[in-house]
Amino acid sequence: MLSAANFVDAALLSGFDFFTGVPCSLLTPLVNETCSQCDLSYVVATSEGEAVAIAAGAYLAGKKTVVMSQNSGLGNMVNPLTSLNFPFRIPTLLIVTWRGRPAEPDEPQHELMGRITASMLALLEIPMSVLPSDENVAETFRAIISPAIASGLSYALITKKGDFAETCASERQFAPKPAGAIERWCESSERPTRVSVLEHLLGSVADDTAIIATTGKTGRELYTLQDRDQHLYMVGAMGSASAVGLGVAMNSQKPVIVVDGDGAALMRMGTFATIGARGPENFLHILLDNGVHDSTGGQRTVSSQVDWASIAAANGYRHTISIARIEDFARALDALQSRPGPNCLHVRTLPGSIENLGRQKVAPHEVAERFSSFLRGRQELGRGRLPDDVTSMRARRPFSPRTA
């Protein structure tokens, strides 16, 4: 049996300083111990995949991260582990409980995952070992886990029932927050294009602002307009941009803007609650709502049935402004950036994108490295400036709206 205090101490001595996850009853002592230490941050995630993305953002901001979950949560982790952590070379330490371990009676829902836990981690190319004993835990961190993390590899520690000695519960409780303020500016029959919103964004934000763009054409258009060190283009892990942004905002003093899409936001709506609960004042969530999955052929989303401003406000965003005219964008952006967050700017846009849209020429791990360097202040800031001749650029890549 391992002391949770000894495990946390060994993790701290090895530099691990950011914890997140979804609790499992077998991890109760470890979660309690983590939360009892005031210098540690344990982020309660709404899903295991969200926890991986939050940890990814924290890593980019300079943290060594731990994600804790039940082995059933590996299914929720597969997408961000394979399409975020792997291409961006973002490592994390996974602490995974082994429910349904062969020859150990458990609930029927754990039987299959129990049989395939080890092989699933191997398929994900994540090295693993079983939880060490008290006398070996420090050496395991020093000789095995830390070198793996330093090389850019995630690593998994597998725990089973009874591995951790019981501790008293001390998990942080979140005080209820009043609903945030909502402003709905005049609607318009002539909505802006996504690229015009991105142009205005680039021309309005300060040079020290980190911008995280969601998957698909949003990130590709941002890259086409201007590629800068403070941009992170989410080439995968759809729906995870806001969670990555949360991890960054919690661990950086820089302003953080997440440029999201309605389809992506619908995929992981629980992250709104996590952002509201943590309340990062430097966080701005820009939601570009065109009502379709633009990057996959324009299939409709259910966004027309969703009141995004009310959702943001109900989940703890302090201020939300909903607009539908490009003329209002700069004023709304200034208003929200001047107020403590988390804040949300909901923008109704047209479907469609610029024609012959290219893809990023910079490898994801290089994007991650320079973004991390920007957050830590190790490089010159990119210039928050649009190309000199946007009109010429548009002539080369004309915008053709798709019929909704």
Q: 189-242: per-residue pLDDT in tens? A: 789 999 999 999 999 999 999 999 999 999 999 999 999 999 999 999 999 999
pLDDT for 52: 98
Q: In the predicted model, is pLDDT for residue 257 greater than 50?
A: yes
Q: In the predicted model, is pLDDT for residue 39 greater than 80?
A: no
Q: Tell me: cis bond preceding 255? Omega within 30 of 0 counts.
A: no
Average of per-residue pLDDT across 94-114: 90
**Whether the domain at 4-159 and the domain at 181-400 fall into the same CATH topology:** yes
The CATH fold assigned to 181-400 is: Rossmann fold (3.40.50)
Confirm if 50 and 21 have CB atoms less than 8 A apart.
no
Q: pLDDT > 70: what percent of the chain?
A: 91
Q: In the predicted model, is pLDDT for residue 399 greater than 50?
A: no
pLDDT for 358: 83
How far is the C-alpha of 50 from the C-alpha of 71, rounded, in Å?
15
Q: In the predicted model, is pLDDT for residue 149 greater than 60?
A: yes
User: How confident is residue 379, by pLDDT bands cut at 50, 70 and 90?
Assistant: very low
Q: 56 vs 162, which has greater pLDDT?
A: 56
Is this prediction's pTM over 0.85?
A: yes
Average of per-residue pLDDT across 155-169: 85
Confirm if 350 and 212 have CB atoms less than 8 A apart.
no
Q: 392 vs 290, which has greater pLDDT?
A: 290
Mean predicted lDDT score pLDDT of the chain = 89
Confirm if 89 and 152 have CB atoms less than 8 A apart.
yes
For the domain 4-159, what is the CATH code? 3.40.50.970
Beta strands in 234-342 (DSSP E): 256-261, 283-289, 292-293, 299-300, 319-323
Q: Can you read off the two tokens belonging to residue 351?
A: 């479907």
Domain ranges of the chain: 4-159, 181-400
pLDDT for 395: 36
pLDDT for 80: 98
pLDDT for 201: 97
Q: In the predicted model, is pLDDT for residue 83 greater than 60?
A: yes
Q: What is the dihedral of CA 269, 72, 56, 272, to 10 degrees?
A: 20
Determine which of 75-89, 240-254, 348-362 has the lowest per-residue pLDDT on average.
348-362
pLDDT for 121: 96
Q: pLDDT > 90: what percent of the chain?
A: 73
Q: 339 vs 35, which has greater pLDDT?
A: 339
Q: What DSSP character marks residue 145?
A: I
Render pLDDT for 4-31 as a digit per residue (tens, 0 to 9). 999 999 999 999 999 999 989 899 999 9
pLDDT for 394: 34
pLDDT for 355: 83
pLDDT for 38: 63
Confirm if 399 and 353 have CB atoms less than 8 A apart.
yes
Q: In the predicted model, is pLDDT for residue 178 greater than 90?
A: no
Average of per-residue pLDDT across 51-76: 97
Parallel, antiparallel or unpaired: strands 93-97 and 16-21 = unpaired
Q: In the predicted model, is pLDDT for residue 56 greater than 90?
A: yes
Determine which of 106-120, 253-267, 305-319, 369-383 has the lowest per-residue pLDDT on average.
369-383
pLDDT for 11: 94
User: How confident is residue 168, by pLDDT bands cut at 50, 70 and 90?
Assistant: low
User: How confident is residue 36, by pLDDT bands cut at 50, 70 and 90?
Assistant: confident
User: How confident is residue 284, by pLDDT bands cut at 50, 70 and 90?
Assistant: very high
pLDDT for 173: 64
Q: In one letter, which amino acid is 104?
A: E
The CA distances from residue 193 to 23, 189, 357, in Å, are: 42, 12, 14
Sequence length of the chain is 404
